[in-house]
Amino acid sequence: MEKSIKSVELDVYTSQNLSVDDISVLSLLYAPLIGSNALQIYLSLSSMCSKTDHHMYFSSHSALYDTLHMKEQDYLKARFSLEAVNLLNVYAKDDSIMYILYLPQSASQFIKNGVLGIYLNSLIGQDNLNKVLEVFSKNNIDYSEYQNITKSFDEVYSVTNVSKEAVKSERLLEARRAHEVNLTNDSFNMDYFLKNIDTVYLDNYVDDKFKSTILNVATAFNLNADDLISLYNQSIAKNQKFSYVLFKRKARMMFNITTDNAIPSLVQNNVEEDEPKKENKNDLLAYFEKISGKELLAQFDLSNSRNNLMLANIYQDIPYSRTIVNMMVWNVLTRDNDHLPALGYFESMYNTMRDNGVIDEKTAYAYLFNNVTNKEKTKKTNRSLKNVNDPDWVKKAQKTLFDSVEVYDEEN
- Phi, psi of 382, rounded to the nearest 5 degrees: -140, 95
Which DSSP helix (H) or strand (E) runs through 58? strand 55-58
| 136-157 pLDDT tens trace | 876 667 777 888 888 776 677 7
Which residue would you say has higher pLDDT here, 285 or 281?
285
In this prediction, what percent of the chain has a pLDDT beyond 90? 19
| 344-373 pLDDT tens trace | 888 888 888 888 888 888 888 878 876 433
Range in 49-58, 244-253, 384-393 the model is least confident about: 384-393
- pLDDT at 384 exceeding the cut of 90: no
- Phi, psi of 88, rounded to the nearest 5 degrees: -145, 130
Banded model confidence at residue 236, pLDDT cuts 50, 70, 90:
confident
Closest CA to 257 of 214, 226, 222: 222
Mean pLDDT of 65-78: 94
Mean pLDDT of 53-70: 92
| 310-327 pLDDT tens trace | 888 888 788 888 888 888
Provide the mean pLDDT of the chain.
76
Contact 244, 213 (CB under 8 A): yes
Which residue would you say has higher pLDDT here, 195 or 412?
195
Round to whole Å and give the CA distance between 48 and 64. Answer: 11
Contact 247, 231 (CB under 8 A): yes
Which pLDDT score, from 0 to 100, does residue 380 have? 37
The sign one gets for the Cα dihedral 244, 247, 248, 249 is positive
Closest CA to 88 of 38, 139, 155, 140: 38
Closest CA to 334 of 364, 302, 308: 302
Contact 308, 234 (CB under 8 A): no
First to last CA, the chain: 36
